Amino acid sequence: MAYQMTLADLDWLQSPQGAAALQQLAGEQIREGDRLRWLERLRAAYGRDHAAAALETALLRQRAAVKFACADRLYLTREALEQASGDAVARYRAQRLASVSRLGELGCGIGGDTMALSQVTQVMAIERDELRLRIAVANVAAGGRSEAMWPVCADWRTLRLSALPALYLDPSRRAEERRAFSIFRYDPPLTVLRELRRETPDIAVKISPGVDYDELDQLGLDCEVEFISEKGTCKEAILWLGRFRTCARRATLLPQEATLIDDEDVASVPVVEPQRYLYEPDAAVIRAHLVQPLARQLGLAKIHPDIAYLVGDHLVQTPFAKGYRILEAHRFSLRLLKERLHALDVGELVVKKRGFPVEPETFRKGLKLSGSQTCILFLTQTVHGPCMLIGELAESHARAE
C-alpha cells in the first residue's frame, strides 16, 4: 500500500528527532529499489511509522530538486509534486500577478505556487485539506516569507471572495486517480469561473497545456491563453482574465522570458517547396497557434498550410524556433531514403515528423543504419504529398543549445 502522510507524521518530521532523521538521509542518493533496506535501518532508529514518513520525504526531496531550489527543506506529497510547476514557471507567473496588493489563492495545496506568490504580494492561501495547508505553511516558511501568507483552512466555494482584488486558481487535473484532460472534469470544473468573475473579475487560472480550444470557447470568457515553455518543453498554460488579459494568445519561453503574442495581421503566409533552411517552432508557439505570426515576423514561409514547419532561404536567429540546414529534399520513398542514407554514411539518425503516420523511433530502428555520420530526417507533407528532408542543426542554433 502506498504511503500517505498524516498530520502526526508532519508533526514528527518537524520535531528535532524528525529533522535529525531527514538530515541523516539528506546526503544519500536513495533509489526506489533500496526502499526496504532503508526502511529496516530507519525502523530500528525511529520506529515503523516514523521510518516511512522520513524515507518518503527524503525520496520526494530528491525528485523535487529539478523543480525547486529549496527542495531539501520542503515537505511534499507525490501527487502535489507531480502537478507542481517548479521555480522558474512559478516565479514568472507570480511576476504577472505582482501588481495586486493582495491575492486569494484558491486551493493552495502544499504551497508550490504560494512560495513564489508570497515573494511579490500578500497571499490568502485557502485550502480545505488541513494537512496540505500545514505543509504549505511550512514550505512558505522555508522560503522566508511567512509574513506574506495568510492561511485559511476552508473550502473556498463556501467563502465570500469579493473583498479580494484578484484570485489565482490551480484546479486539480485528476479525476478518480486519472489525469483529467477536459476542463469540465477538473476539480472544480472551469465553469466555476463564470460565478467567480461576478465577485472578482481579475483571475489567473493554471490549466493543462493540452487544453482543448473548443472547450475554452464554450466557457464564453474573454481571456488570454498563455502557453509557457521551459527549455523547449511546453510545461503549462494559464488563463488570464480581467485586467490581467493583455492579448488573446501568448507563448512565453523560459528561462529567457521571450514572449510572442498574436497579431492582427490576417495576411496569409505563403506556402512553398522546401528551401535551404527549415525551422521547427517551439511547442508553446504551436500550442498558442502563433506559427503564422512567427512566420510573418521572420519573413518565412510554410511547406503545407496545416504543418507547423517554416522554411526560408536565409538563416535567422530566434528563440521561438530551432533552425536546420536542409541537405536534401525528396518525395518520400523508403528505397530512395535507404540509398541516400547509405551514400551519406549515416549511422546515427534523429527522426522528426509532422503529419506523417510513423512512430519515429520504430521507423529509425527499421532502417538498420551502420555508418559513421549523424543527421536529422524530417518526415512531413508538402502540398504535393509526403516528403523526406535530410538535414542538420544549423551551426548557430547548435551553438545556442
Task: List pLDDT tens digits, range 57-74.
Answer: 999 999 999 999 999 999
For residue 397, what pLDDT is reported?
58
pTM for the whole structure: 0.92
Percent of the chain's residues with pLDDT above 90: 87
Mean pLDDT of the chain: 93
The pLDDT assigned to 28 comes to 86
Q: Is the pLDDT of residue 399 over 60?
A: no
Among left, alpha and beta (phi > 0; psi -120 to 50; other), residue 40 is alpha
CB atoms within 10 A of CB 51: 19
Give every CB contact of residue 209 below 8 A, 6+ residues apart in sequence.
227, 228, 234, 235, 236, 237, 283, 284, 287
Neighbours of 366 (CB within 10 A): 12
Between CA 22 and CA 72 the distance in angstroms is 9
Alpha carbons 9 and 14: distance in angstroms, whole number: 9
- Whether 228 contacts 194, CB under 8 Å: no
Cell of 295: 512566420
CB 208 within 8 A of CB 235: no
pLDDT of 308 above 80: yes
Peptide bond into 293 cis (omega under 30): no
All three cell numbers of 159, joined, read: 467563502
C-alpha 392, offset from chain centre: 27
Conformational region of residue 44, where left means phi above 0, alpha means psi within -120 to 50, and beta covers everything else: alpha
